[in-house]
Structure 1
Amino acid sequence: MPNPAAAPEPASGARRIVVFGDVIDDVVVVPSGPIRHDTDTPSSIRQRAGGSAANAASWLGAQGAAVDFVGRVGAGDVARHSDILAGFGVTPHLIGDTEHPTGAIIVIVEGNSRSMLTERGANDLLSADDVSDELLDHASVVHFTGYTIYHGDGAGDDHAAVRRLFDRAAARGVPVSVDPASAGSLEDFGAEAFLAVIAGAGLLFPNLDEGRALTGLDDPMEIAAALGQRFPLVALTLGADGVIVVETGHDPVRIPVVESRIVDPTGAGDSFVAGFLASWTENGDAVTAAKAGAAVAAGAVTQVGGRPSQA
């Protein structure tokens, strides 16, 4: 059986990264100071395309990786979001929903913290079955976030489509990468239930809060070690304290953060994952990949919104 975290050596014409999951229209609000209730607060307000999975795909494409993205939007937004993704070098495979709108979030940024008001819309109708066998045939890795599990993919069928995706990927020797994405949603869903759904994943990208929720532990190194017992490759992100990489057969490695001026932390985790996967699928070196991810994330937080800037 192939190592589920080994960077594959695909046939000629392969080595594409397949990402599926949320597409969102973000309205990013950065108040000039404390929000004054019942009156005006001068703010910077920007509309941006977002969604954790779509953000990761965009950062991958911006780095020159060959990436396919599968998502679901309101029918009237297929062309608009396809063009935005294509502008980052992503090959879009968007499904138009005639009954539900494109997901939307109001993001209120206050220093290093964010408050998010969310309408998931068409994202809740996306299924892992929408990732075709043809895409998997040419994939080096397939990546998705916990939002697909928490909110979509048909909770009533015990997430059978996600489990089928793991089986279909394993049959092709394609590792599956998972970003838990939300500590709050993870706690609501249940850590053991989540771990059961993603059993067989080759790569896991939790932040510290998500790691605590998954393990019940507090110390970062202990969290990373515990998750390393379950998954072949874990990159635990610690914000300003860097990243801990745990890989089967190797000692844990702590990677320092790349210092930068934080304007908006939206998409920092997605950009880290993108930098990691773009590097790892090329060289299979997890430490080098974590350093690449940290560098991409350092640039991501210096701008408003969760995707790269477009010229």
Structure 2
Amino acid sequence: MNAPRYDVVAIGNAIVDILAPADDGFIAANGMTKGQMALVFSPEEADALYAKMGPGQTVSGGSAANTVAGMAMLGSDCAFIGQVADDDLGATFASDIRTGGIRFDVEARAGQPTTGRCMIFVTPDGQRTMNTFLGASHYLPAAALDRALIADAAYLYIEGYLWDPEEPRAAMRAAIAVAKEAGRKVAFTTSAEFVIDRHRADFLQLIADGQIDLLFANESELMALTETADVEAAVAAVADQVETLVVTLAERGAMALRGGERVTVAAEPVDQVVDTTGAGDLFAAGFLHGQTHGHDLAASLKLGAICAAEVIGHVGARPMADLKLLTGG
């Protein structure tokens, strides 16, 4: 098998984040669940909520896109597959990801719907409440896959968020088949409890069939996936079915399990938690960078913790500091 050209090729939602401050009263008054992500299904609903936002910040986002953005900053070679529309937000997303040194070749989609956007309300305690209109990202076809590109990456990285719509779900299944045929590894992040609730059977089947080599989940997601009451029971239910299991534990750090090895790392200290948007995405960035550059589990977890700590110290899901400098890379 040839050495891969890319460290990671990621498939995920191509969306633009719009972040604005809000208080708990605003969250409650608009029927949101604080700290959770909800889907906005109609353009009209998305426009109405956007009109209520105060002054904020606009930056390209999307879970898997955030991960490869962090990896690229660390020095990894990455590519991204996702669908944008032929509009201003789509052009912003494409420009941002390419400026970060990430290969992005998917042709913009003409017509409606618009490029996806995530309206994020950040409360004073740093919690983010997300309302996502997925727009064009729901229309990623299997025909958009560059199979040679997927086969030329050490890891295919997939976000659970994109599993919901039928068209990109079929594309991701096809991508997994390409990666497996090429002898590459597949990493998967469960993304959110509501995603797991909708697709638990699919995710468990992927795991049981050996289609996932590296599984990322936070402790709540893993318990939801396994329908268990505590994280140790959840770990026991999954750890033997994947090559590597990574579980983030918020302020308690994270753990990784592989074979008979179990490693834990403490969370990195943070002066102030400003915005938790992207914490899991950047943890995955650090860990995947470590794994694709010959680091062991402990060192990879440490990289993930450093990257997550950086992103929660400011508004936005993309790093602002030099990750190479922070990690000693």
Structure 1 length-normalised TM:
0.86
Is residue 73–residue 96 contact of structure 1 (8 Å, CA) maintained in 2?
yes
Structure 1's 161 and 106: CA in aligned 2 closer, same or farther, altered over 3 A?
closer
2:102 to 72, 76, 90: 90
> Structure 1: where are the runs of 5+ without partners?
1-8
Q: 1 CA distance for matches of 2:301 and 2:152? A: 24
Structure 1's 182 and 24: CA in aligned 2 closer, same or farther, altered over 3 A?
same
- Listed as ranges, the matches of 1:98-247 within 5 Å are 98-99=110-111, 100-110=113-123, 111-127=125-141, 130-153=144-167, 159-187=169-197, 189-197=198-206, 199=209, 200-247=211-258
Deviation at 1:35, TM superposition (A): 3.5
Is residue 225–residue 246 contact of structure 1 (8 Å, CA) maintained in 2?
no
Going by fraction, where is helix more abundant, 1 or 2?
2
Q: 1 CA distance for matches of 2:206 and 2:170? A: 9
2:18 to 23, 27, 33: 27
- Alignment deviations for residues 16-45 of structure 1 (CA, whole Å, 9 cap, x no partner): 31011111121111236753969xx99662
> Structure 2: where are the runs of 5+ without partners?
31-51, 323-329
Residue 278 in 1 paired to residue 269 in 2?
no
2:162 is paired with a residue whose SS is helix
Structure 1's 276 and 129: CA in aligned 2 closer, same or farther, altered over 3 A?
farther
Q: 1 CA distance for matches of 2:243 and 2:264? A: 17
Structure 1's 150 and 14: CA in aligned 2 closer, same or farther, altered over 3 A?
same
Paired residues, number: 294
Q: 1 CA distance for matches of 2:247 and 2:166? A: 25
Q: 2 CA distance for matches of 1:263 and 1:279? A: 26
Structure 1's 152 and 116: CA in aligned 2 closer, same or farther, altered over 3 A?
farther
2:167 is paired with a residue whose SS is coil
- Listed as ranges, the matches of 1:47-58 within 5 Å are 47-58=58-69
Is residue 66–residue 90 contact of structure 1 (8 Å, CA) maintained in 2?
yes
Could you say which residue in structure 1 is the equivalent of 2:308?
297
Deviation at 1:269, TM superposition (A): 0.5
Structure 1's 285 and 299: CA in aligned 2 closer, same or farther, altered over 3 A?
same
Q: 1 CA distance for matches of 2:276 and 2:155? A: 26
Residue 69 in 1 paired to residue 83 in 2?
no
- Alignment deviations for residues 209-265 of structure 1 (CA, whole Å, 9 cap, x no partner): 1101111123223322322122110101111111121112x2322211111121110
Q: 2 CA distance for matches of 1:263 and 1:128? A: 38
Q: 1 CA distance for matches of 2:206 and 2:171? A: 10
- Over the matched positions of the two proteins, sequence identity in percent amounts to 27
In angstroms, what is the RMSD of aligned CA positions?
A: 2.5
Q: Give the letter aligned to residue 156 of structure 2.
A: V
Q: 1 CA distance for matches of 2:67 and 2:142? A: 17
Deviation at 1:299, TM superposition (A): 0.5
Is residue 283–residue 307 contact of structure 2 (8 Å, CA) maintained in 1?
yes
